[in-house]
């Protein structure tokens, strides 16, 4: 299915040059992997970055650089560091996860409200990554909220809508602190999304304030 909502050019540029944080990078990777349009844009940004590198004057390595490298190779025991791999906890989520999540630890579905479940994802090498799966029942409204940073949401199955439009499988939504919205899942079926936050959600209303501690922030 052709996506109708895409990451911004700025986000695709940050994705291509490696400056996007790990959680958002995974969400964008899922989108780019299924969107030829965005994959082409990433390739263009990478080509521009490569051309810029060609114009950078080379810097001579130190005389001891090779010895330092070989010393690190000799000291490596062939085992990955404990803090660079995800804990292998994959729950029976009932959905097929994107390949971009293959290295992540996946927790069980947890209740955060009527008809709303979430699963915390552990990103290798970044225990602070704010990456999650959200599953919302058909016809349900999420609490009205805004954001202390940018929110990246990729629709994996189902669909939802807010004041800005409708988001279907393959679509990615970016929302920042200027956006205050209340996504509503379509009545045709539950919706599952992959989401990452730079910052935190700021939930509105009485129920939102009740569950805010569950989401942090």
CA distances from 88 to 135, 193, 214 (A): 21, 21, 23
Neighbours of 40 (CB within 10 A): 11
Along the 217 residues of the chain, how does pLDDT read in single tens digits? 678 999 999 999 999 999 999 999 999 999 999 999 999 999 999 998 654 445 555 656 666 766 766 766 666 554 444 333 333 445 556 778 889 998 899 988 998 888 989 899 999 999 889 899 999 999 998 877 666 678 899 999 999 998 889 999 999 999 887 777 788 999 999 999 999 988 666 665 433 444 444 455 5
The helix or strand, by DSSP H or E, that contains position 212, with its residue range, turns out to be helix 205-215
CA–CA separation, 204 and 24 (whole Å): 24
* Measured CA angle at 105 (ends 29, 142), to 5 deg: 70
**pTM of this structure:** 0.75
* Strand-pair partners of 167: 160
Structure tokens at 201: 């959600």
Contacts of 8 by beta carbon, 8 Å cutoff, 6+ apart = 174
Q: Does the 1-217 domain belong in CATH 3.40.50.20?
A: no
Domain ranges of the chain: 1-217
């Amino acid at each position: 299915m052709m996506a109708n909502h895409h990451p911004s050019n700025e986000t695709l540029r940050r994705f291509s040059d490696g400056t996007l944080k790990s959680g958002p990078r995974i969400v964008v990777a899922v989108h780019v992997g299924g969107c030829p349009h965005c994959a082409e844009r990433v390739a263009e940004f990478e080509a521009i970055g490569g051309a810029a590198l060609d114009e950078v004057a080379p810097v001579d390595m130190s005389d001891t650089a090779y010895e330092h490298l070989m010393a690190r190779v000799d000291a490596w025991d062939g085992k990955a560091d404990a803090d660079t791999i995800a804990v292998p906890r994959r729950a029976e989520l009932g959905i097929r996860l994107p390949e971009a999540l293959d290295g992540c630890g996946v927790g069980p579905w947890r209740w955060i409200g009527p008809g709303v479940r979430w699963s915390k994802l552990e990103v290798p090498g970044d225990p602070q990554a704010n990456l999650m799966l959200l599953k919302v029942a058909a016809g349900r409204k999420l609490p009205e909220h805004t954001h202390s940073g940018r929110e990246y949401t990729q629709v994996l199955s189902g669909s939802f809508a807010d004041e800005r439009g409708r988001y279907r499988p393959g679509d990615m939504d970016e929302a920042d602190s200027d956006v205050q919205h209340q996504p509503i899942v379509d009545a045709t079926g539950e919706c599952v999304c992959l989401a990452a936050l730079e910052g935190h959600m700021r939930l509105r209303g009485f129920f939102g304030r009740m569950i805010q501690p569950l989401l942090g922030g």
